[in-house]
Amino acid sequence: MPHKFCLKLALLGVLVVPLAGFALPAVKPNASKLTLHSLAVNASPIRNFSKSGSNDLFGRLRFRGGLVLSSSDRAFGGLSGIEISPDGRHLLAVSDAGAWFRARLNYKGKRPTGLDKATIGPILALGNKRLRRGRDRDAEAIRLFKGDLNNGIALVGFERNQRIGFFKIKGGRLMSPQRYLRPPTRLRANKGIEAAGVIRTGAHKGGVIAFAERTLDRNGHHQGWLWHGGKRHPFALTNVGDFDITDIAGGPKGGVYVLERRFRWTEGVKMRIRRLAVKNIKRGAVLRGETMIAANLGYHIDNMEGLAIHQDKAKRTILTLISDDNFNSFLQRTMLLQFEVVR
């Protein structure tokens, strides 16, 4: 992820030259000491995606609504990955402090209005043990692998101690992992597994797909991996505009959606979503995909890190995004955004 202090200032639209020792990163809560508990989450509506108008169509997506989420509970924040139930009513997220967060998402018509029945708990290690080291707790992605959000198996990707865990879900709670996948090569220390997903259709259905935040091959493309049928297939995504990859999710109607983020001092933060054709994901492939949406600070975005996909009652594909506030709610926000795929 980008340097936290720089990101916060850019999101405020402020340009300064930081002095040595002046930038103090927000302190993450120690989730190894966290106990399972309920919490209240406040939600303020985002009615328009663009800050300059009320248009709801952006690229190939239609904005349905959004929320700015906040809580007085110190364990809340840092949400870096999200999964959502098939009916769009329940979400399960993970934080880079090592917590999981579950809540019910409420709507008025198509527009999300708030969260209730929120619960938070610690991500566990093998054997139901606690993750004591901070580098072991840096969860960046979550994706349902089997079952549902009440009882099933979820993938959780970790950035610093680089691995993808298969975690049991029981009674809506994220339990201890059963096993891990490891990337085939050592990744950069703070640029490890950032995106992990499952392919939902096609010849690779059920396959696990993953990207690091920034691991480029010899040609400057983003290096990705597909695990399917007991084999690992490396492939690549073209590096267009020097964005970092923050999440990936398989769509129920085909396609794989990639969430990307770019940070520069002179322009602040940008967000982009690309869609890849499932049939093109194979060993050695170099994919470009199609851009579904691109946004900068003229839109209501923050440090967008999580992406989930479900279908509504009319079988329309809905994308849900969440941002990581780096546990500094004064300078950043936890934002939940929803879009409908229109073509």
Instruction: Quote the pTM value.
Output: 0.92
- Least reliable range by pLDDT among 174-183, 213-222, 252-261, 275-284: 213-222
**Token pair 């566990």 in the structure block, residue:** 124
pLDDT in tens, 67-110: 999 999 999 999 999 999 999 999 999 999 999 999 999 999 99
3 or 138: which leads in pLDDT: 138
Q: What angle do CA 107, 116, 178 make, to 5 degrees?
A: 105
Q: Please check the confidence at residue 5 and state whether its pLDDT lies above 50.
A: no
pLDDT, position 305: 97
Q: Please check the confidence at residue 61 and state whether its pLDDT lies above 60.
A: yes
Q: What is the separation, in whole angstroms, between the first and last Cα of the chain?
A: 31
- What's the rounded mean pLDDT across residues 256-260? 98
Round to whole Å and give the CA distance between 210 and 164.
9
The token pair that represents 196 in the structure block: 């992990």
CATH for 4-27+35-341 (2.115.10, 1.10.3470, 3.10.110, 2.40.128): 2.115.10
pLDDT in tens, 187-196: 766 667 889 9
Q: Is 159 helix (H, G, I), strand (E, B) or coil?
A: coil
Q: What angle do CA 258, 253, 145 make, to 5 degrees?
A: 65
Phi, psi (5° rounding) for residue 252?
-70, -20
pLDDT in tens, 216-248: 888 999 999 999 998 999 999 999 999 999 999
Contact 93, 81 (CB under 8 A): yes
pLDDT, position 189: 64
Contact 24, 6 (CB under 8 A): no
For 238, other C-beta atoms within 10 Å of its C-beta total: 14
Contact 274, 249 (CB under 8 A): no
Phi, psi (5° rounding) for residue 40?
-95, 135
Q: Please check the confidence at residue 22 and state whether its pLDDT lies above 50.
A: no
For residue 159, which of 85, 96, 234, 248 has the smallest C-alpha distance? 96
